Amino acid sequence: MELLLSELISKNRYWTSFGRVATYIPELKNADQNALGIAVVDMDGNIYKAGDYDTKFTIQSVSKPITLMLALMDYGPEYVFEKVGMEPTGDPFNSMRKLETINPSRPLNPMINAGAIAVASLIKGKDNQEKMNRILGLFRKLSKNPSLDINENVYFSEKKTGDRNRSMAYFLRDVGVIEGNVEDILDLYFMQCSIEVTCEDIAQIGMFLANHGLVKETGEQYVPKHITQIAKTFMVTCGMYDASGEFAIQVGVPAKSGVGGGIMCAIPNKMGIGVVGPALDKKGNSIAGVKMLHELSKQLNLSIF
């Protein structure tokens, strides 16, 4: 396996020069444009890694299916899906144009920014600190990495420049989708996006989803199976934004990407995969990461369809 992964890295690294690192969050432009790394965790817990697997990056939108699971555990699907829809948008992840045109007004799904901000408003806790501790605790547990933490530079950078998200959040309060202090909700969202990880961390989280919420070592059902199914279904239909259809055809696995360059895949009953490649394509997905997953899926016959 490690040999195969190393070959895929060598073969696909040149794609990194065709993408661009995200710059709209200023701190992200310090990422290494040419980095490419991968980690695979199988059902027995074996870990295989290749390339720049040590590269640290912020989790960004890869966090969205995970915080969705927390909101679903806190409030249940019925209430959560009153606030946020279940349909793909076909629009970029930060688009706001459909917010006002659909009736009743609510974000189309929890994988776009507006939807994830609505989800952040549904995390329980007596204050923001407690809510953040619950979010961070969940990521630490699922990644099996107790030292995961926030990259404060990225967090402050996004907080300072996140006016597009800020405008959507205020709009969402105006139409009654979110309640309470908008700046606190945004803070929680910016912090969840700024959790710093490696591709092994997100491969472990992918494995947890692949194993339907069961922690294999302890036999503990940490997240109910039906909630992990909801998260994986959104990963298939909306996880790669307006490239989700093409990704489903070419790779065929539940996946979630982020503008930090991460892609997390959960292949039911098989494996979790984490990829890092900060050079992004036009739709905001890791350009070399997608190419590499396409080939890996073909070689290992991973498509779930």
Instruction: Give the residues lining the site for ligand DON (CB under 6 A).
Output: 60-61, 93-94, 113, 158, 165, 193, 257-259, 284
**Annotated active-site residue in 48, 53, 155, 241:** 241
Residue 241 appears among annotated catalytic residues: yes
Pick from 272, 260, 274: nearest CA to 61: 260
Q: How many angstroms separate the CA atoms of 23 and 1, rounded?
A: 34
What is the spatial order of strands in the sheet that 57-58 belongs to?
57-58, 195-197, 149-150
Pick from 131, 130, 129: nearest CA to 119: 131
Residue 80 appears among annotated catalytic residues: no
Alpha helices (H) in 13-161, listed in sequence order: 64-75, 77-83, 97-101, 113-120, 128-143, 152-161
CB of 113 to ligand DON, least distance (A): 5
Cα dihedral 3, 8, 14, 18, rounded to 10, equals -150
**Annotated active-site residue in 41, 62, 64, 141:** 64
Residue 244 appears among annotated catalytic residues: no
The kind and range of the H/E element at 304 are none
Kindly tell me which of 50 and 263 has the beta carbon lying closer to ligand DON.
263
Residue 10 appears among annotated catalytic residues: no
Residue 17 appears among annotated catalytic residues: no
**Annotated active-site residue in 80, 182, 236, 259:** 259
CB 238 within 8 A of CB 89: yes
CB of 72 to ligand DON, least distance (A): 20
CB of 259 to ligand DON, least distance (A): 4
For 86, how many CA atoms within 13 A lie in the half-sphere containing its CB?
Answer: 10
**Annotated active-site residue in 40, 41, 49, 61:** 61
Kindly tell me which of 211 and 286 has the beta carbon lying closer to ligand DON.
286
Kindly tell me which of 162 and 213 has the beta carbon lying closer to ligand DON.
162
CB of 268 to ligand DON, least distance (A): 23
Kindly tell me which of 6 and 161 has the beta carbon lying closer to ligand DON.
161
Q: What positions carry a catalytic annotation?
A: 61, 64, 189, 241, 259
